[in-house]
């Protein structure tokens, strides 16, 4: 079967074509359906902001590296013991690309995200088919389309951000970065009763989307002084909760300065592996008592993400669809940042 893969390590935006990373379709063996497994005929797999980092070799440089972890599709086959969720052949589903074993120290200590046995089911989802463990698969509500359904995984990431932000109703909230995670998180904090809700984002179209989702203020870091604007908006207090969803080294250094005394600052993105940031511990940790944290995957978040899907505005996320055969073009479109999300259609005729 056909799978999208990185076949050459390198930046996908390297101006020198001989150094640029490459994404293309490869032939890949179909996985066997084990007794507790679900075989999914993939409908859509959306491109993740982390995929270009994979192309740069952040998780290893042995190519080919199969791509795709934001998947929706239809159940094609079930193992004889895959009966715990009542799934049936033909059901419309979405999935978590990680299988948590449930048995290791971390799984049993309420920290699935550190599970030491996720490798067995590490399989690329930007493919005609993918076989995952039943525990990874979720039946979509009838009023969620397969195009929207592939957003379950990024939605779960935004739910995880909510869990770690731990804010109260009425908290002043700022989000840095209007990509998919930032925009999903913005919709969620709005539900949560955020006030002075502010999106910090250099791309005008993305600021407009944030305003349409309920942001009260937007800051353009390319033309405005972020700290000055943040203090003007919050009457000098700063934001109780600041989420970075940009992953941009140039954007994150200022965020302790716009976080209120006693506030929470969450670095919720994938950063370049060699990036370090100076932090004045006296000012921000001792004197201002900031809680600074981060996260990388979404344990215990998928059931709630599934319930949120039909309650979110996902229209701007599903505007661009490219067929699997033209996957290289899909990544070019993704790199242009013209669309909030690019969906790769892996099989035709599934809605
Ligand atoms: Zn992702
Ligand atoms: Zn485990």
CA of 112 to the centre of ligand 2 (A): 6
DSSP annotation of 134 reads G
Cα of 130 vs centre of ligand 2, distance in Å, is: 21
CA of 286 to the centre of ligand 1 (A): 34
Domain residue extents for the chain? 2-151+314-345, 164-294
* Gap between the Cα atoms of 339 and 69, Å rounded: 19
CA of 100 to the centre of ligand 2 (A): 5
The whole-chain average pLDDT of the chain stands at 96
Distance in Å from the first CA to the final CA of the chain: 21
Query: Residue 135 has what DSSP assignment?
Result: G
316 Cα to the center of ligand 1, angstroms: 17
CATH of 2-151+314-345, one of 3.90.180.10, 3.40.50.1970, 1.10.645.10, 3.40.120.10: 3.90.180.10
Statement: residue 143 has pLDDT above 90: yes
Q: Which ligand is nearest to the CA of 104?
A: 2
At 61, the pLDDT band (50, 70, 90 cuts) reads very high
Q: What are phi and psi of 255, to 5 degrees?
A: -65, -35
pLDDT exceeds 90 at position 204: yes
Burial bucket for residue 68 (CB in 10 Å: 0-12, 13-18, 19+): buried
Alpha-carbon separation of residue 32 from 4, 79, 119, 121, 317 (angstroms)? 19, 10, 16, 11, 33
At 296 the pLDDT is: 87
Task: Round to whole Å and give the CA distance between 200 and 271.
Answer: 18
Q: State in Å: Cα 50 to ligand 1 middle.
A: 6
Q: What is the mean pLDDT of residues 316-345?
A: 96
Q: Ligand 1 mean position to 59 CA, how many Å?
A: 14
Instruction: State the pLDDT at residue 265.
Output: 98
Write phi, then psi, for 49 (nearest 5 degrees).
-60, -20
CA of 151 to the centre of ligand 1 (A): 9
Distance 70 CA to ligand 1 centre (A): 6
| Percent of the chain topping pLDDT 70 | 100
Question: Residue 18 — pLDDT band, cuts 50, 70, 90?
Answer: very high
Cα of 71 vs centre of ligand 1, distance in Å, is: 10
Least confident of 81-85, 149-153, 340-344, 347-351: 347-351
Amino acid 93: pLDDT? 98
pLDDT tens-digit map of 297-329:
999 999 999 999 999 999 999 999 999 999 999
Q: Is the pLDDT of residue 167 over 90?
A: no
pLDDT computed for residue 59 by the predictor: 87
- Mean pLDDT on 145-155: 98
The mean per-residue pLDDT over the stretch 24-48 comes to 97
- pLDDT tens-digit map of 69-118: 999 999 999 999 999 999 999 999 999 999 999 999 999 999 999 999 99
Q: Tell whether the model's pLDDT for residue 166 goes beyond 90.
A: no
> Residue 109 and residue 116: Cα distance in Å, rounded?
12
Q: Which CATH homologous superfamily contains domain 164-294? A: NAD(P)-binding Rossmann-like Domain (3.40.50.720)
Determine the distance separating the centroid of ligand 1 and the alpha carbon of 191, expressed in angstroms: 23
pLDDT tens sequence across 170-190? 999 999 999 999 999 999 999
Half-sphere exposure of 156 (CA within 13 A, CB side): 25
Of the ligands numbered here, which is closest to the C-alpha atom of 69?
Answer: 1
Using the predicted structure, report yes or no on whether residue 153 has a pLDDT greater than 90: yes
Is-contact 211 186, C-beta < 8 A? no
What does the pLDDT look like over 225-282, one tens digit per residue?
999 999 999 999 999 999 999 999 999 999 999 999 999 999 999 998 899 999 999 9
CA of 271 from ligand 1 middle (Å) equals: 13
Q: What is the DSSP string of 321-350?
A: EEEGGGHHHHHHHHHTT-SS-EEEE-STT-
Centre a 10 Å sphere on the Cβ of residue 51 and count the other Cβ atoms it contains.
23
> In the 3-class helix/strand/coil scheme, how is 145-200 assigned residue by residue?
CHHHHCCHHHHHHHHHHHHHHCCCCCCEEEEECCCHHHHHHHHHHHHCCCEEEEEE
User: How many A from CA of 169 to the centre of ligand 2?
Assistant: 34
The backbone torsions φ and ψ at residue 194, rounded to the nearest 5 degrees and listed phi first, read -65, 145
CA dist 298 and 306 (Å) reads 13
Mean pLDDT of 52-75: 94
């Amino acid at each position: 079967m056909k799978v999208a893969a990185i076949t050459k390590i390198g930046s996908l935006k390297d101006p020198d074509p001989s150094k640029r990373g490459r994404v293309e379709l490869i032939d890949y063996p179909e996985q066997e359906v084990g007794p507790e497994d679900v075989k999914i005929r993939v409908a859509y797999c959306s491109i993740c902001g982390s995929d270009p980092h994979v192309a740069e070799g952040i998780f290893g440089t042995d190519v080919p590296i199969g791509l795709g972890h934001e998947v929706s599709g239809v159940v094609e086959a079930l193992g004889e013991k895959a009966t715990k969720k009542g799934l049936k052949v033909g059901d419309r589903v979405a999935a978590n690309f990680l299988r948590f074993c449930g048995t290791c120290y971390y799984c049993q200590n309420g920290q699935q995200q550190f599970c030491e046995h996720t490798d067995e089911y590490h399989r690329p989802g930007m493919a005609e088919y993918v076989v995952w463990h039943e525990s990874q698969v979720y039946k979509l509500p009838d009023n969620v389309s397969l195009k929207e359904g592939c957003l379950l995984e990024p939605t779960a990431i935004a739910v995880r951000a909510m869990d770690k932000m731990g804010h109260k109703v009425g908290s002043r909230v700022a989000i840095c970065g209007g990509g998919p995670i930032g925009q999903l998180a913005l919709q969620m904090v709005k539900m949560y009763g955020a006030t002075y809700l502010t999106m910090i984002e250099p791309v005008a179209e993305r600021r407009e989307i944030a305003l349409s989702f309920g942001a009260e203020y937007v800051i353009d870091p390319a033309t405005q002084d972020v700290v000055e604007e943040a203090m003007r908006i919050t009457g000098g207090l700063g934001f109780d909760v600041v989420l970075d969803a940009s992953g941009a080294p140039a954007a994150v250094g200022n965020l302790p300065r716009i976080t209120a005394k006693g506030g929470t600052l969450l670095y919720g993105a994938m950063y370049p592996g060699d990036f370090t940031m100076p932090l004045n511990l006296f000012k921000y940790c001792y004197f201002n008592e900031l809680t600074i944290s981060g996260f990388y995957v979404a344990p215990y978040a998928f059931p709630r993400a599934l319930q949120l899907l039909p309650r979110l505005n996902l229209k701007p996320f599903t505007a661009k669809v490219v067929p699997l055969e033209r996957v290289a073009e899909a990544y070019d479109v993704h790199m242009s940042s013209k669309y909030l999300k690019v969906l790769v259609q892996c099989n035709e005729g599934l809605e």
